[in-house]
Chains A and B, each alone.
Chain A
Amino acid sequence: SAVISQKPSRDICQRGTSLTIQCQVDSQVTMMFWYRQQPGQSLTLIATANQGSEATYESGFVIDKFPISRPNLTFSTLTVSNMSPEDSSIYLCSVRTGGIPYYGYTFGSGTRLTVV
């Protein structure tokens, strides 16, 4: 399965600032996924990032708040913009492995963000 390097692993940021999270995959993948996991909650999909096209955002998430880049098939970034304490969460990138319909998902180690 793919190996994902995600950084930073954690950060404490001032409100109003932005943080960019990076994910590097050791193989080429068509789709990369960005999730948020708030304390005690499940994973919520933010957006799907395809190389060469605009990311597809889920309901409740917008590009201005969470801009995503996907410059090639092994790399993606998620920016959390104009942060507020409500953005404190764990952010995870993920890639799909396996075949239809039993896709599995491999995750990066996560970015633990605290906004103060």
Chain B
Amino acid sequence: RKEVEQDPGPFNVPEGATVAFNCTYSNSASQSFFWYRQDCRKEPKLLMSVYSSGNEDGRFTAQLNRASQYISLLIRDSKLSDSATYLCVVNLPGGSYIPTFGRGTSLIVHP
């Protein structure tokens, strides 16, 4: 089983739609969690950290479910500019905090 798993998609949604992605992780001792965004032919950029209590940043909401070992990203009122690949990132236990990246979920928002 892979350490971090994501549905690669693509998720194809109209503008204004709400879309959610999940990411599961295998190591229950994982310590911190993130969502990154990667545009085509660009480097990944941090979108948001995922806190235990859940957190929101504008149209984006991230949730952590430790019992079921998954994190989620909800995007409300999708924009064309949200089209990208969303990478789930998990910091494994241990002092080095080396991140493990999921394969990413592709989102296409169409007019």
Query: Which of under 10, 10 to 19, 20 to 34, or 35 or more describes the interface residues of A?
Result: 20 to 34
> Which chain A residues lie closer than 8 Å to B91 at the CB level?
101, 103
One digit per residue, 1 when the CB lies within 8 angstroms of any chain A CB and 0 when it does not, for chain B 30-50 equals: 011010000001111110010
| A42 interfacial contact with B, CB 8 Å | yes
Residues of B that sit less than 8 Å from A by CB: 4, 8, 31-32, 34, 41-46, 49, 87, 89, 91, 96-99, 101-104
> Which chain B residues lie closer than 8 Å to A48 at the CB level?
96, 98
- Are A42 and B101 interface neighbours, CB within 8 A? yes
User: Which of A13-21, A61-69, A104-112 has 4 or more CB atoms under 8 Å from chain B?
Assistant: A104-112
Closest-by-CB residue of B relative to A101 is B32
Name 10 A/B residue pairs within 8 A (Cβ), A-sorted: A41-B103, A42-B102, A42-B103, A45-B98, A96-B97, A102-B34, A103-B32, A104-B34, A105-B46, A107-B44
Q: A105 vs B99: C-alpha distance in the bound complex, in angstroms?
A: 9
Q: A95 vs B71: C-alpha distance in the bound complex, in angstroms?
A: 24
Q: A16 vs B49: C-alpha distance in the bound complex, in angstroms?
A: 42
Closest-by-CB residue of A relative to B32 is A101
Chain A interface, DSSP helix/strand/loop, else mixed: strand
Q: B104: which of A42, A100, A104, A109 is its contact (CB, 8 Å)?
A: A42
| A32 interfacial contact with B, CB 8 Å | no
Q: A42: which of B32, B43, B87 is its contact (CB, 8 Å)?
A: B87
Closest-by-CB residue of B relative to A107 is B43
One digit per residue, 1 when the CB lies within 8 angstroms of any chain B CB and 0 when it does not, for chain A 37-62 equals: 00011111100100000000000000
Q: A104 vs B31: C-alpha distance in the bound complex, in angstroms?
A: 13
> Which chain A residues lie closer than 8 Å to B43 at the CB level?
92, 107-110
State the Cβ distance, B9 to closest chain A Cβ, in Å: 12
- Are B44 and A101 interface neighbours, CB within 8 A? no
State the Cβ distance, B102 to closest chain A Cβ, in Å: 6
State the Cβ distance, B42 to closest chain A Cβ, in Å: 7
- Are B45 and A107 interface neighbours, CB within 8 A? yes
- Are B45 and A101 interface neighbours, CB within 8 A? no
